[in-house]
């Protein structure tokens, strides 16, 4: 498993870095692809125990709206993401009218689909907006360094020295020691990023943001765990050997992105 994790990272990371640096439509298409796969995995978890299954228009609205939200932001129309979210609600509402005999479950499915769009596509739109701003590449590298370092630090510290359970009902393997190791790794990664490429950002704010984003990332990791546990699923998918699915890899990022984007909007 360790070899698979590292091999997948060695292969995938240079491709991701290249597309981040290139930006433009290349980066937008990467995020659009991730949004579609993420929505598929989200639906796989959400509807694992669903009976009856949701109408195709509800599922389809999510798969169409997610990439279009990202492409709308790339085209300079970020408000279009909200319009597309509303369009998905309208499409789902039409489906509910066509299935009045199952209106209650259809509305539940629609609510789940809108949650999926907000959970998966929303943060990816924010990443695209960060990339479009001055020093956008540096801020995305900062975000990736902080979250992936925290994830790695929590994993290895927890594996070797973890004793006290963090949230055993949700994720029995996660420990308090691992969580603290993740925070320490967040701080180290933020310090390196501040020295290497975050010009004009003081060390204190960079580290404080890393702690907040890292904490949000750990909540995101636990959120996906409880989501999968409720569905009786171990991994969101199997597209990334050693990691599971796309959501298994970016669950922390999806919660950390709004923290970094909010900081970016308020203070930069």
Q: What is the pLDDT of residue 149?
A: 95
State the pLDDT confidence band at 223, using cuts at 50, 70 and 90. Answer: very high
* Residue 263 near residue 204 (C-beta atoms within 8 A): no
pLDDT digit string, tens, across residues 94-125: 877 777 667 677 778 888 889 999 999 999 99
pTM (predicted TM-score): 0.91
pLDDT digit string, tens, across residues 143-191: 999 999 999 899 889 888 888 888 878 887 889 999 999 999 999 999 9
- 264, pLDDT greater than 60: yes
Between 51-55, 81-85, 157-161, 204-208, the lowest mean confidence (pLDDT) is in: 51-55
pLDDT digit string, tens, across residues 22-63: 999 999 999 999 999 999 999 989 888 776 677 788 888 899
- Beta-strand (E) ranges in 111-204? 165-167, 171-175
- 241, pLDDT greater than 80: no
Q: What is the pLDDT of residue 242?
A: 61
Q: What is the pLDDT of residue 100?
A: 65
C-alpha to C-alpha distance for 190 and 16, rounded to whole angstroms: 20
* Residue 153 near residue 182 (C-beta atoms within 8 A): yes
CB atoms < 10 A from the CB of 63, how many? 17
Q: Where are the chain's structural domains? A: 1-132, 135-268
């Amino acid at each position: 498993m360790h070899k698979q994790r590292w091999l997948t990272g060695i292969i995938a990371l240079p491709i991701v870095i290249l597309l981040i640096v290139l930006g433009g439509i290349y980066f937008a298409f990467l995020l659009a692809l991730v949004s579609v796969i993420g929505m598929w995995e989200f639906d796989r978890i959400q509807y694992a125990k669903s009976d009856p299954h949701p109408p195709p228009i509800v599922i389809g609205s999510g798969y169409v709206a997610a990439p279009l939200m990202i492409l709308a932001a790339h085209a300079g129309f970020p408000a279009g993401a909200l319009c597309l979210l509303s369009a998905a609600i309208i499409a789902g509402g039409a489906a509910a009218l066509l299935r009045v005999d199952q209106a209650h479950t259809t509305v539940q499915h629609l609510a789940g689909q809108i949650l999926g769009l907000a959970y998966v596509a929303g943060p990816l739109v924010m990443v695209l907006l960060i990339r479009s701003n001055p020093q956008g590449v540096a801020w995305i590298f900062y975000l990736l360094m902080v979250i992936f370092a925290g994830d790695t630090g929590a994993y290895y510290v927890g594996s070797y020295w973890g004793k006290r359970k963090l949230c055993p009902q949700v994720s029995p393997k996660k420990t308090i020691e691992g969580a603290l190791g993740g925070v320490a790794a967040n701080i180290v990664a933020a310090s390196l990023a501040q020295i290497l490429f975050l010009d004009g950002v003081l060390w204190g704010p960079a580290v404080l943001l890393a702690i907040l984003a890292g904490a949000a990332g750990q909540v995101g990791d636990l959120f996906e765990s409880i989501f999968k546990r409720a569905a009786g699923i171990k991994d969101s998918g199997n597209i990334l050997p050693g990691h599971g699915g796309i959501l298994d890899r970016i669950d922390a990022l999806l919660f950390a992105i709004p923290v970094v984007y909010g900081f970016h909007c308020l203070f930069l």
